[in-house]
């Protein structure tokens, strides 16, 4: 009479072995739309992890700010409601003050310099600082967002042209001070509000990279002049909720770090081609790209670097020395 019971138990064990143990689905979020380089890179990272864990860990991507703006999503990641988040360093600055060294105007000479810094010891040190901070997030990888320049309804070629213009900035006092120093009136505002704000005249423009100007349709709201100040070159970051991280085995943690690094390099390749395409489309849509000497803007923002860079004087010297 025991044989059927034993067979049933053996069959059940085999079925259990065939199914993922403790299968879990992780929410990954981004303000950018589907198809954007950061979204695609994280989606591909999820596919790699799902394959490596044989379906034990799955990802569900929430692009297009459906879970809120970056500030709201950072808060959700801190409490574990979001497990994986791609965010700008801008809104992370108030949470982890150390990252403000990368947020300062003209701290990087160009995007290539920024990449060399984040790919090296300084980049790893910053990831470690974020992970060790009280922010309840683990920093996995850097992502590229190119350089940020001005886009406005009226052409800007020198700081004086910004006088009286209200320019949307990310929610960080450092950025508001940067725009004020450059000659404009910095207005802190959520990303999702920018289109309507430009359209209705609440602001006269904003600043970001060409792909964002394209995908957010801010040029259609009236911002037809793109002044290439390159005043901010801010790396973005991929972070994981510490609550979710602590539930992973050491092997899974190593897998996430490896997949995160691969996503960092893949996103960079995607970004470069995406930017070229975005510039071409914006020009075809009538956006005027203005090249000018950005030294007056560099000089104007010296007080901002002095004020916010004081705690990072030695680190800034190390950043500047990176070739």
Of the CA atoms within 13 Å of residue 208, those in its CB half-sphere come to 26
Phi, psi of 208 (to 5 degrees): -175, -170
What is the reported pLDDT for 22? 61
For residue 204, give both structure tokens. Answer: 């006269």
Whether residue 197 contacts residue 113, with contact meaning beta carbons closer than 8 Å, is answered with: no
What is the reported pLDDT for 191? 85
CA distance 236 to 310: 23
CA distance 72 to 113: 31
What is the reported pLDDT for 29? 98
Query: What would the pLDDT profile of 257-290 be if each residue is shown by its tens digit?
Result: 999 999 999 999 999 999 999 999 999 999 999 9
CATH code of 22-144+234-278, in short, is 3.40.190.170
Give the sign of the dihedral formed by CA 61, CA 217, CA 88, CA 189: negative
Query: Which CA distances in Å does 184 have to 61, 84, 151, 233?
Result: 37, 35, 12, 19
What is the reported pLDDT for 23? 77
Number of other CB atoms surrounding residue 248 within 10 Å: 16
Give the residues of the chain that fall short of pLDDT 70: 1-22
Task: Specify whether domain 148-233+286-321 bears CATH 1.10.1740.10.
Answer: no
CA distance 222 to 116: 36
What is the reported pLDDT for 99? 87
Query: What would the pLDDT profile of 60-85 be if each residue is shown by its tens digit?
Result: 999 999 999 888 999 999 999 999 99
Q: Please report, for the chain, the start and end positions of each structural domain, with discontinuous segments joined by +.
A: 22-144+234-278, 148-233+286-321
What is the reported pLDDT for 90? 78
pTM above 0.95, yes or no: no
């Amino acid at each position: 009479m025991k044989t059927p019971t034993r067979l049933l138990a053996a069959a059940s064990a085999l079925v259990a072995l065939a199914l993922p143990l403790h299968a879990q689905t992780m929410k990954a979020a981004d303000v950018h739309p589907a198809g954007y380089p950061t979204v695609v890179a994280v989606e591909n990272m999820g596919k790699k992890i799902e394959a490596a864990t044989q379906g034990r860990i799955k990802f569900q991507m929430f692009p297009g700010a459906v879970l809120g703006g970056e500030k709201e999503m950072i808060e959700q990641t801190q409490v574990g409601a979001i497990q994986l988040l791609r965010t700008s360093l801008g809104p992370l600055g108030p949470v982890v003050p150390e990252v403000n060294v990368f947020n300062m105007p003209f701290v990087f000479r160009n995007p290539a310099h920024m990449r060399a810094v984040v790919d090296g010891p300084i980049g790893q040190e910053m990831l470690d600082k974020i992970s060790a901070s009280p922010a309840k997030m683990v920093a996995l990888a850097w992502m590229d967002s190119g350089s940020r320049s001005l886009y406005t309804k009226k052409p800007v070629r020198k700081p004086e042209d910004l006088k009286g213009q209200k320019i949307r900035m990310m929610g960080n006092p450092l950025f508001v001070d940067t725009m004020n120093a450059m000659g404009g009136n910095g207005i802190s505002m959520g990303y999702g509000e920018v289109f309507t704000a430009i359209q209705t005249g609440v602001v006269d423009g904003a600043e970001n990279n060409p792909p964002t100007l394209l995908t957010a349709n801010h040029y259609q709201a009236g911002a037809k002049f793109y002044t290439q100040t390159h005043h901010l070159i801010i790396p973005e970051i991929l972070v994981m909720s510490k609550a979710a991280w602590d539930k992973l085995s050491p092997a899974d943690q190593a897998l996430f770090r490896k997949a995160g690094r691969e996503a960092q390099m893949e996103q960079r390749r995607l970004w470069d081609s995406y930017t070229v395409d975005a510039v071409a489309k914006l020009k075809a849509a009538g956006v005027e790209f203005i090249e000018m000497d950005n030294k007056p803007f560099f000089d104007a923002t010296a007080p901002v670097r002095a004020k916010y860079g004081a705690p990072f004087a030695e680190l800034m010297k190390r950043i500047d020395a990176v070739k």
